[in-house]
Amino acid sequence: MRILLLGNPGAGKGTQSSRMQKNFNITAITSGNLLRQNIAKGTTVGKIAAKHMEHGEFVPDDIMIELIGDELQRNKRQNWLLDGFPRTINQAMALDDNLNLSGQSLNLVINLQVPEEVILQRIMDRWIHVPSGRVYNLSYNPPKIHGIDDVTGEKLTKRDDDNPDIFKIRLQKHHALTEPLLEYYNKRNILITCNGRTSDEIYPQIESELIARFNVISPNNQVKTSTEKNLLKVATRENL
């Protein structure tokens, strides 16, 4: 599995990524987490990125390509998931060049389609634990103690760009950049779109696609979906 997650800011890419990691043998590489970790550490890349993000701007391509390229080298796994990168055609082509050299090109792109009014409420309720990248939402995934990470007990923070004004700027720019990306991957026949208002509506669509496309069984080899049940029935008949 060599997967890319696409979707509007706040569409739930982090939540879906966490579920996929939990239920399948896959490593997630999340551009947003990499950026925030570098900002928190005060690295040179982090300082440059912070200036752009404070104004609702996307980080320049060369910075993102450097970050993701280094992370891919550190995570030479058979199964991986990219979340938040690439955002532009130039990034996509640079990524393809990088992956083709190692013989592990993308084989699935998942586009998350969520109504914009739902996304706006999500970002207003969102809190994060920067060191781990864990994401909480007061509406449907709140921390056990308000403002505190469940695992470490450390304080949660709000993202600087999680406010309505900056969100509208990000959304406009995202649409302009994403449409060409969707066309690019659709021509390669590796793009699917999953629609829904909640993560629980969208995740079963993702799970069924992974099971059908990669012939894997989710979580802990337990049969939980109709797709899995059908696969098991076929396998059982063949063994009789």
> What residues form DSSP beta bridges with 181?
none
Instruction: Please tell me whether 214 is known to bind a ligand.
Output: no
Whole-angstrom distance, CA of residue 56 vs CA of residue 168:
9
Instruction: Please tell me whether 47 is known to bind a ligand.
Output: no
Instruction: Please tell me whether 102 is known to bind a ligand.
Output: no
Instruction: Please tell me whether 118 is known to bind a ligand.
Output: no
Q: Do 216 and 210 form a contact (C-beta atoms < 8 A)?
A: yes
- Angle, helices 89-101 vs 61-74, to 10°: value is 30
Q: What is the chain's length?
A: 240
Residue 213 annotated as catalytic: no
Exactly one of 19, 122, 126, 134 is catalytic; which is it? 126
Residue 74 annotated as catalytic: no
Whole-angstrom distance, CA of residue 159 vs CA of residue 54:
10
Whole-angstrom distance, CA of residue 195 vs CA of residue 113:
5
Instruction: Please tell me whether 136 is known to bind a ligand.
Output: yes
Exactly one of 19, 87, 122, 134 is catalytic; which is it? 87
Q: Do 24 and 110 form a contact (C-beta atoms < 8 A)?
A: no
Tokens 């403002």, located at residue: 147
Exactly one of 19, 122, 134, 170 is catalytic; which is it? 170
Instruction: Please tell me whether 15 is known to bind a ligand.
Output: yes
Residue 87 annotated as catalytic: yes
Instruction: Please tell me whether 12 is known to bind a ligand.
Output: yes
Exactly one of 13, 19, 122, 134 is catalytic; which is it? 13
Residue 13 annotated as catalytic: yes
Beta strands in 97-219 (DSSP E): 108-113, 126-129, 134-137, 191-195
Reading across the β-sheet that carries 108-113, which strands appear in turn?
Answer: 27-30, 80-83, 2-7, 108-113, 191-195
Instruction: Please tell me whether 14 is known to bind a ligand.
Output: yes
Instruction: Please tell me whether 13 is known to bind a ligand.
Output: yes
Residue 126 annotated as catalytic: yes
Instruction: Please tell me whether 184 is known to bind a ligand.
Output: no
Instruction: Please tell me whether 51 is known to bind a ligand.
Output: no
Whole-angstrom distance, CA of residue 143 vs CA of residue 162:
18
Q: Do 209 and 108 form a contact (C-beta atoms < 8 A)?
A: yes
Instruction: Please tell me whether 42 is known to bind a ligand.
Output: no
Instruction: Please tell me whether 188 is known to bind a ligand.
Output: no
Q: Would you name the residues annotated as active-site residues?
A: 13, 87, 126, 159, 170
Binding-site entries for AMP? 31, 36, 84-87, 91, 159, 170
Please state the residue numbers annotated as binding site: 10-15, 31, 36, 84-87, 91, 126, 135-136, 159, 170, 199
Sequence ranges of the binding site for GTP: 10-15, 126, 135-136, 199
